[in-house]
Structure 1
């Protein structure tokens, strides 16, 4: 197995494309081995439209299996390795939102305990990545599985260092609030003026603070992904049960039809390892900078 690559730890299929699809495609274009470790099959997810309604957990409960196919297609669009599921496909189930019946399922990922950490440690010892990407302590937007994925990744990076592989750099994937606000405002302006790229029918603009982001001053690393946005959009479209991409390609929406911009940058916070050279904005522009 090739050493020195990039490992990303995500909670559900589609998270990899939404938050880090550009980085995956960019580093694959540069020849870097990229492995996405997905913690659940996303069985409790909502779906877009009646076409997929029979797959959901309250009906046929086949959504998780179908999302394996979507993830496989998305990773192929990004030129990444085939899906790799923590503990094997289906080992832990999507926990759903806090307080729901799905969260009480013993197989829910939030109950994964030390076994999940040990499974990820074994992957890190096998692949020996130079960079690992996980979530921040809020899991981005607060989903229990995202928070659990943050805990698992953090503990696994620490434990793997004790067992023989000290990951050189560990990041959280985040969204720069200022960048998100600027692109959302631009969409609102196009919509108000009825310009190309306006809000598609049935979609709505996000309310203030509705989309997860962090203060710009906390972001340490910005990766420009404009050159691979076509691949990112294709990966988003591959998750057809979960994601709609606007005809303009500038925005996407989930089952709530809240518009989110497809940003030309992806943002990270370095939490472990050497900070590399920075640009005039005071940020790194390469996840492998300084190695």
Structure 2
């Protein structure tokens, strides 16, 4: 590990185990390796996730309802792969937020799910983390949670509300983003090999596609892609080794997972910039305190 970022602190707020690796795995591994303190807060245990391993189908919420406990183990293994030691679930010993499932489903109406949580009450738990960790940079989802999952939307709301309520003022806040130009290239490449890109015929079919002008930062974490792929493999109940995520890597090259994109929504955009005018460092312009 190098110490070039020692003293800098990054907080990420995600909805379910595996979201952090898919969106930010290379970024997390890079900054941790460079000496920054990286803290992950996961809001639910992903109890309503689909189980992709047939031998573990009994874990599903419709059977033994023990997927959440299993995904805790998957998350730990993924964080070990990325070199992250500080990862927590939102809440405390007496408060735990459950995966809400998709909008309109039966689980979404349960009183204990994250979507039904009181916003300020849930945010208060994150405020405690912010006051403890004192992050310079916060990363979370945009206002639609990337693709509309209620837990992603609620994670966004909680992260933004907590940043307002906390006495510690976070210097920069980023939302995860994916430029339309990059997604269009992915669709074209996958079409060449006779496959689709998550069922999309064109980039406008993807709710998480952002106009390039809205994407203000790109972290080049290609050096850390192998660690990201190990972390993705650790989330085995959610990500198939021969599924679309790994197919993308095989056909688009390492940059498809090593390049991670963000939109700056609070704080000042600062040098250095890449050829597209995007920040190349989430901590750019941040003064340690």
TM-score (normalised: structure 1): 0.87
1:12 aligns with 2:6: no
Pairs aligned (count):
269
Output the CA distance in 2 between the equivalents of 1:58 and 1:20.
Answer: 30
Output the CA distance in 1 between the equivalents of 2:170 and 2:206.
Answer: 34
1:286 aligns with 2:281: yes
CA RMSD of aligned residues (A): 2.0
2:221 aligns with: 225
2:52 aligns with: 48
Output the CA distance in 2 between the equivalents of 1:249 and 1:111.
Answer: 34
CA contact (8 A) 1:135 1:173 kept: yes
* CA drift at 1:104: 1.1
Cα deviation digits, residues 17-46 of structure 1 (max 9, x gap): 011111111111111111110000000111
1:188 aligns with: 191
Output the CA distance in 2 between the equivalents of 1:95 and 1:3.
Answer: 36
TM-score (normalised: structure 2): 0.87
Cα deviation digits, residues 172-209 of structure 1 (max 9, x gap): 011112112212321222x14xxxxxx5xxx8753232
1:267 aligns with: 261
Question: Could you list the runs of 5+ residues in structure 2 that have no partner in the other structure?
Answer: 1-5, 250-254
SS at match of 2:210: coil
SS at match of 2:219: strand
1:105 aligns with 2:102: no
> Structure 1 residues 276, 240: CA separation in 2 closer, same or farther (over 3 Å shift)?
same
Question: Could you list the runs of 5+ residues in structure 1 that have no partner in the other structure?
Answer: 193-198, 253-260
Within 5 A, what are the aligned runs for 1:139-218?
139-160=145-166, 163=167, 165-189=168-192, 191-192=193-194, 206-208=199-201, 209-210=205-206, 212-218=208-214
SS at match of 1:145: helix
* CA drift at 1:16: 0.3
